[in-house]
A and B are shown apart, each in its own frame.
Chain A
């Protein structure tokens, strides 16, 4: 069946490119770790998946050793466990942020594009205003106002992120709307709702999906960055990569590993995500499909 062939083709193109294949595998690896950590942490040697386990008897960071694979960070927290647990937290929040943002964005964008005119104008002005503040300072402000927990932070990030998707989805929807098949559908009596759901949204989803995959890496970074500059102080023992880095900050010079390991964890994920995103974009680009 044709649609199945399409998916197969996409995957084939994806895997023909070594880098994007690698990206996919790494991302899957992270997801797997997160899942295991959520259901059966002991399997990967994590004692407590939901909070770091401090050891005040020996708070000074220890170099990597057999019982502390990545060494320890202040206050005597086993870095390996912390990082693994943190992967779960960061992945979860990033996915939620991106998906929520995309959902709102697509809704607004597509509707704006379809009922163009005044309504469109209003919506686009609003998104413009949201986009008129660089997202990091904006997120700081919103997060600060909402409260400095992780949930508030991710809410803040959603508020900052959706306009990007709205803008993007609108652009896509507008070009799709121009196609004759939309008009043909109207001429054969399909209602607005039917056109949006049957014709526009399905065609918008693909490019937006690529955008999501490209953004995930960025969101993970931003999320960690915000915790790094002092969010999530509400729960001092929550394992989170950015927070781990900022905890290790004072010891960076004497004990480099305390910042290196969490940082590398973010870096690898972001690289993998970007590779995957690029691969997907190429794979779904019609020019590369023939």
Chain B
């Protein structure tokens, strides 16, 4: 089986998972009758009275038919982009609209931290495995243990205290602790309203588009603490896995063979051990990504960043079904597709998997 075949097969395997995801969301909206479902699809801002809307919805989604018929109609609506409405303090309108506004910020946050994690985590893990039982090793282990066990939102709070509380040290008040930008800079801007910037909704880009360097710098500063927090929370587990898998690899027979061939230490680690050691790390990336996405929710809540997570928590507090389900779907999709990419990478890394 060639690599291409493997990739194609993997792509096909995505569909059942997607069906499952939608099915779960659909069932959740139907637990105990379809009232919650109606709640998701009724638009209270429209002129049409709720009762009428509900009646229409009942017809549109065939709510009186058997459940799988309903699923079918719901799915078609879902695929046509009708995801219902959300009413939260920070946004009120269609679910898709909300996602369009909030997703970019989340992506930025997640992207920054994942990149940081990879460029820090893997070398450190390798290093501490090679220098087993050395001071380096022990300190990285302690670090990863604490990082692994630290509640991420709490870490966020601690950072907030450290960088904002006068009790600690005014010298530390360099990083802003809340929101995505300093309101003072942005009030009565045409392209920035209620925490959302236009056109790309990514403030870092929009500020440059509108040539406002000061806003760009301020926005960048606002990103620092969240990114650091999120990175810290996932870095630990990556280092941990990388270290242990590198340790195993170094005990393999083929490493002994490499030594018997007279290869230098460097060559053994870089050319023989590292690639093998990465394979189990890749397989475990799925869980890391899950942790990352979970972390996003909490961190956006702590730092009031207008992202999907923030929106979802707002929806939870204000009991808004549309927001909850929308958030779940988006996180689910993000998770499924990032795992897809990981698996394809896996195919590149391990020649055995193609056979």
Contacts and interface: CB of A to CB of B under 8 A. Distances in A.
Chains A and B touch each other in the complex, with CB atoms below 8 Å apart? yes
Interface of A: 125-126, 128-138, 140-142, 144-146, 148, 217, 221-222, 224-225, 228-231, 233, 242, 245, 249, 252-254, 256, 259-260, 263, 266-267, 270-271, 273-275
A252 B150 contact: no
Given A145-B28, A229-B316, A259-B154, A140 B21 contact: no
A137 B157 contact: no
A256 B165 contact: yes
B332 interface: yes
Contacts of A138: 328, 331-332
A132 B289 contact: no
Nearest to A23: B145
A136 B293 CA distance: 8
Interface in B1-34: 16-17, 20-21, 23-25, 28-29, 31
Given A245-B154, A263-B158, A230 B317 contact: yes
B80 to A, nearest CB: 22
B316 A259 contact: no
B312 interface: yes
Choose among A128, A136, A256 the residue with the greatest number of B CB atoms under 10 Å from its CB: A136
Contacts of B293: 134, 136-137
B239 interface: no
B158 A225 contact: no
18 contacts: A125-B20, A126-B20, A128-B20, A133-B331, A134-B335, A136-B294, A136-B298, A141-B324, A144-B316, A145-B28, A145-B29, A217-B149, A222-B294, A225-B151, A228-B153, A245-B154, A256-B165, A259-B154
Nearest to A264: B154
B160 interface: yes
Contact of A132 (B29, B301, B316, B336): B336
Q: Which 8 A-B pairs have the closest CB atoms?
A: A129-B20, A136-B294, A270-B149, A263-B154, A134-B290, A137-B331, A134-B293, A141-B328
Contacts of B347: none
A271 B29 CA distance: 38
Given A230-B317, A266-B151, A140 B297 contact: yes
Contact of A263 (B151, B294, B334): B151
A144 B149 contact: no
B23 to A, nearest CB: 8
B165 A141 contact: no
A133 B316 contact: no
B94 interface: no
A279 B305 CA distance: 39
A253 B160 contact: yes
Interface in B270-329: 286, 289-291, 293-294, 297-298, 301, 312-313, 316-317, 319, 321, 324-325, 327-328
B25 A141 contact: yes
B21 A229 contact: no
Contact of A256 (B167, B319, B335): B167
A164 B106 CA distance: 26
A266 B151 CA distance: 8
Given A132-B335, A133-B328, A271 B151 contact: no
B156 to A, nearest CB: 10
B146 interface: yes
B21 A225 contact: no
A142 B339 CA distance: 22
Contacts of A225: 151-153, 294, 298
A79 B161 CA distance: 18
A271 B321 CA distance: 36
B74 to A, nearest CB: 16
Contacts of B336: 132
B317 to A, nearest CB: 5
B332 A133 contact: yes
B31 A259 contact: no
B85 to A, nearest CB: 16
B215 to A, nearest CB: 25
A233 B317 CA distance: 9
Contact of B148 (A142, A228, A274): A274
